[in-house]
């Protein structure tokens, strides 16, 4: 892979010399610089592809351009795209209501709630890990403190913020799972197309000196935006336990 990247860097100037492009400063070419290092640090790029974004370029750029009058096109393209999104959302809402009318007995579910539950292994790959090991090797230095806060919330008479620092945890070991699988919403035109993704949180080891902790963006309410980080969506930078 590094040899192929070096060959590309040695010959890419020809596209500029022939006037095919003014420059090659686009995200896809820039990301090539990070693949080798990323694979060495975190392992294979599981479930990674750019197919969805290639399709987005058609929907968001080409179709928007064709719908404009080719003058001062960007505001027109943004307006066109905004209207397309509103129509698509309303169309999904109508489909959801039609399904509800076809089956009165079925409980009402928001589309975001219709995904299958996440799947984890039957047995944990790291059983009975001491809390100190979790904090060090699973890159979670505040795990004991967060666990105290979590358990304290279930007490009838919770400890104060000052008292909780001296609270002895009733457990000193926990089973740790390294991954879970889930079915995200399809990004393609086929609404019935089944996709599967895997989120991994691997501790540090000789093979992975930095570990691997995938980023997860979780939508915890219906108002959160699935296409950005605005609103009240939460970001979890690693899944530890």
Q: Tens digits of per-residue pLDDT, 168-194?
A: 888 899 999 999 888 776 555 555 556
pLDDT at 241: 39
Could you give the C-alpha distances from 168 to 82, 132, 154, 159, 197, in angstroms and in order? 54, 14, 15, 12, 38
Residue 18 neighbours by CB under 8 Å, 6+ apart: none
pLDDT digits (tens, 9 = 90+) for 31-68: 888 888 888 887 777 766 666 667 777 777 888 888 88
Q: Average model confidence (pLDDT) for the chain?
A: 78
* H helix or E strand, kind and range, residue 182: strand 179-182
pLDDT at 127: 93
Question: Residue 88 has what pLDDT?
Answer: 86
Residue 134 and residue 241 in contact, taking contact as beta carbons nearer than 8 Å: yes
Smallest CA-to-CA distance from 203 within 212, 215, 191 is with 212
Q: Give the span between the Cα atoms of 88 and 100, in whole angstroms.
A: 19
Q: By percentage, how much of the chain surpasses pLDDT 70?
A: 75
Does the structure show a pLDDT above 60 at 216?
A: yes
More confident residue, 58 or 20: 20
CA-CA distance, 124 to 224, in Å (whole number)?
Answer: 32
- Reported pTM: 0.47
Q: Is the pLDDT of residue 114 over 70?
A: no
Chain center to CA of 222: 17
């Amino acid at each position: 892979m590094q040899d192929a990247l070096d060959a590309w860097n040695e010959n890419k100037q020809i596209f500029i010399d022939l006037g095919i492009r003014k420059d090659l400063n686009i995200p896809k070419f820039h990301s090539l610089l990070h693949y080798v290092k990323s694979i060495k640090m975190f392992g294979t790029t599981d479930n990674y592809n750019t197919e969805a974004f290639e399709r987005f370029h058609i929907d968001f750029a080409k179709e928007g351009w064709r719908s404009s009058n080719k003058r001062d096109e960007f505001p027109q393209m943004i307006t066109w795209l905004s209207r397309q999104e509103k129509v698509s959302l309303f169309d999904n809402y109508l489909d959801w209501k039609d399904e509800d009318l076809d089956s009165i007995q079925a409980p009402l579910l928001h589309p975001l709630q219709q995904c299958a539950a996440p799947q984890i292994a039957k047995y944990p790959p790291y059983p009975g890990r001491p809390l100190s090991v979790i904090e060090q090797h699973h890159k979670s230095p505040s795990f004991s403190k967060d666990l105290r806060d979590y358990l304290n919330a279930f007490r009838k008479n919770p400890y104060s913020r000052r008292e909780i620092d001296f609270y002895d945890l009733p457990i000193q070991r926990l089973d740790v799972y390294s991954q879970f699988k889930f079915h995200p919403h399809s990004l393609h035109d086929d609404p019935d197309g089944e996709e599967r993704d895997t989120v991994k949180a691997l501790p540090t080891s000789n093979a992975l000196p930095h570990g691997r902790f995938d980023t997860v963006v979780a939508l915890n309410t219906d108002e959160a935006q699935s296409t950005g980080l605005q609103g009240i969506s939460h970001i979890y930078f690693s899944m530890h336990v």
